[in-house]
Amino acid sequence: MIMGLAGIVGGMGLICIISRRTLLGIMIGIQLLFLGASIMFVAGGIISGAVIEGHLFGLFIAIGGIAQLGGGLALAVRLFYLKNTIQVDQLQSLKQ
């Protein structure tokens, strides 16, 4: 059942990525996807008996999520600097 929760959280993140039109909204979706993956690894570790490994990979995924946030926010700053908006519909190139 916890696996099901992880799947729903990840699926909602995917829907969020597809439906949102701003970079911040897309980043929320990606974070939800990371959250679902992290829950899945922790629950999988408990189910399979490798508890510590599950915790460890959950930790790695959470740190990967922070790295994604750093890159995404830098892209958003760049986009806002060039286009004065963070709507991805207007994103054709990052060149000036």
* Residues contacting residue 17 through CB under 8 Å, at least 6 positions apart: 26, 29, 30, 33
Cα(66)–Cα(35) distance, integer angstroms: 11
Interface mask toward another protein for 46-85; x: CB under 8 A = x--x-xxx-xx-xxx-xxxxxx-xxx-xxxxxx-xx----
* Residues contacting residue 40 through CB under 8 Å, at least 6 positions apart: 3, 6, 7, 10
Q: Within positions 19 to 48, which residues make up the interface with another protein, using CB under 8 A?
A: 19, 22, 24-25, 27-29, 31-32, 35, 38-39, 42-43, 46
Whether 62 contacts 49, CB under 8 Å: no
**Contacting positions for another protein (CB under 8 A):** 1-2, 5, 8-9, 12-13, 15-16, 19, 22, 24-25, 27-29, 31-32, 35, 38-39, 42-43, 46, 49, 51-53, 55-56, 58-60, 62-67, 69-71, 73-78, 80-81, 86, 96
